[in-house]
Structure 1
Amino acid sequence: MEAHPLVPIGACLLYGLLMVAGQAYFRTREPLRARTSLAAWNLFLALFSLVGMLRTFPQLVHNLATLTLRENLCANPQATYGSGSTGLWVQLFILSKFPELIDTVFIIVNKKKLIFLHWYHHITVLLYCWHSYVTKSPPGIFFVVMNYTVHASMYGYYFLMAIRARPRWLNPMIVTTMQISQMVVGVAVTLLGFYYSARAADHQSCRIKRENNTAAFVMYGSYLFLFLQFFVGRYVGTQSPVASKKTA
């Protein structure tokens, strides 16, 4: 992955071109109503994310119990989460950002509204995750566990919606609140990263790379703003809450 930095860039460019072409193609055509395929896809991603969370969360708990917060955010990730089953599921998490682009296909073929937050999130998270992995970002385990957890719930919700089996108590506001909480923690982790890296005597004492942490701060900060905007537009006001569109 270090030797092929153009792969994620090429994937994002192709994604953008196909997204524009797909919308143009279906502009004058009927939606496909691919509900069965959508349900199967969401179920697959929900189960994948659940397993990923179960395989990475124990490592994060172990790290927090045995290392200081500074060590968790600054230590060599090859020692804290980059090996064994955790290392495997971290890598699978990074690679999963490519097939997750298929989410957009279902929005386009079903002629649903494609909001900026959706495609902006998919592009930026793919680029950031690839860069974090090849630069061995120390705080990566925090972001991986959070995203696996939120995606397990989010895609599970979408699956229930696709098969029309959502229980009354499962309000879409819950999913959006989880997404916003993830962004708040993400911003907090990046701010701590700036603090610890600024106080470090050298690179070896804190392996956070400023360009990667800056990208994370901008990314999570923009997500937080956009998700809050989405939350207010969707749930605050006179309109009744409706099912949340895919945004992450």
Structure 2
Amino acid sequence: MLREIASNVVQLHTYVIQRTDDRLKGYLLMHSPVLMTVILLTYVILSVYVGPRFMANRKPLGLKTAMVIYNFSMVALNGYIVHQFMVWGWGTTYNWRCDLCDFSNSPQALGMVRASWLFYISKYIELLDTIFFVLRKKHSQITFLHVFHHSFMPWTWWWGVTLTPAGMGNFHAMVNAAVHVIMYFYYGLSAAGPRFQKYLWWKKYMTAIQLIQFIMVSVHISQYYFMDKCDYQVPVWIHLIWMYGVLFFFLFANFWVQAYINGRRLPVVKSKENGVTPASFKELENGTAPYLPNGKVLLSKVKEI
């Protein structure tokens, strides 16, 4: 039984390797799905189990300089990714409808392959978001949604880059990179300290931008279902992108309601008088809100301050 299962796994792995786009075989983390799967499983274990336990009896690290450098570096990286997507297709030859994958070795096709791979690699760099949370003991930020998104995105994108490194299937990557330019710019300012708080009044609009992102992705990919004919080479990727866009729209919409309408996302923290008081959004934004000794935060129904 075990021998048969092992044989089937080996056959599947061989098929995947043979199916991998030859143009990508020289790129980092594109040789096999095994290594990237191991990396992402290790990330989940470190984020959920090992990291919080390791930091349990240690003081949280500041990491202010490291976070500022990291966030603004991510602004530059994602800006470059958007530029590459535009140059090699979306701003030049693509019609934003039934754009097929170009599997040739033309400069444009190879440029789109590099842009897609670079977006894929950026998802691994973003795992540092969670590492910073762990080292700073911001355990409340390491939610199921956070870990799921950061691990599932690069895992699915290995298959996306392998099977469809171009065409209408990577529109959402360009949009996501553009949103990350804005997001990491905000985080960079927030990490820089209290003197930049006056420039962070637009925090709630970041969630609105995320919602607009998912609407754009879902509407764009939905065109596939209404065209008379679209011979996109891997239609299953179309269905997965549509489901991904819709799913995350509702998840982020729920966050918007809970955070800015119901006001249920504010933690309460210790005070000298009565033990706990609600932290303001400004304290949460710049990381100055204190946490309880066990690293956990309680939820409050206090409206936004």
TM-score, normalised to structure 1's length? 0.83
Q: Could you list the runs of 5+ residues in structure 1 that have no partner in the other structure?
A: none
Rounded to whole Å, the distance in 1 between the matches of 2:114 and 2:65 is: 30
The yes-or-no answer on 1:232 pairing with 2:257 is yes
Give 2:86's aligned residue.
57
- 222-231 or 212-221, which moves further after superposition? 212-221
Give 1:12's aligned residue.
40
Rounded to whole Å, the distance in 2 between the matches of 1:168 and 1:96 is: 27
Distance 1:188 1:244, change over 3 A: farther
Would the aligned equivalents of 2:79 and 2:181 in 1 still touch at CA under 8 Å?
yes
Give 1:104's aligned residue.
130
Q: How many residues align?
A: 233
The aligned amino acid for 1:179 is Q
Q: Deviations over 1:81-126 (max 9, x none)?
A: 6323x44222211121112111100011111111222111111211
Q: Could you list the runs of 5+ residues in structure 2 that have no partner in the other structure?
A: 1-16, 21-30, 267-279, 287-305
SS at match of 1:83: helix
- 101-110 or 112-121, which moves further after superposition? 112-121
Q: 1:189 aligns with which of 220, 232, 242?
A: 220
> Larger C-alpha radius of gyration, 1 or 2?
2
Deviation of 1:128 (Å): 1.9
Give 2:277's aligned residue.
none
TM-score, normalised to structure 2's length? 0.68
Alignment of 1:213-224 (within 5 A): 213-224=238-249
Task: Report 1 or 2 for greater relative contact order, CA contacts < 8 Å, sequence distance ≥ 6.
Answer: 1
Would the aligned equivalents of 1:194 and 1:210 in 2 still touch at CA under 8 Å?
no
Alignment of 1:1-248 (within 5 A): 2=20, 3-19=31-47, 20-58=49-87, 59-64=89-94, 67=95, 69-70=97-98, 72=99, 75-78=100-103, 82-84=109-111, 86-112=112-138, 113=140, 114-136=142-164, 138-164=167-193, 165-168=196-199, 170-196=201-227, 199-200=228-229, 206-238=231-263, 241-242=281-282
Bigger proportion of residues as helix: 1
Deviation of 1:192 (Å): 2.3
In percent, how many aligned pairs have the same letter? 21
CA root-mean-square deviation: 2.5
- 205-214 or 9-18, which moves further after superposition? 205-214
Distance 1:167 1:178, change over 3 A: same
Rounded to whole Å, the distance in 2 between the matches of 1:220 and 1:124 is: 14
Distance 1:60 1:21, change over 3 A: same
Rounded to whole Å, the distance in 2 between the matches of 1:180 and 1:78 is: 32
Rounded to whole Å, the distance in 1 between the matches of 2:132 and 2:34 is: 26
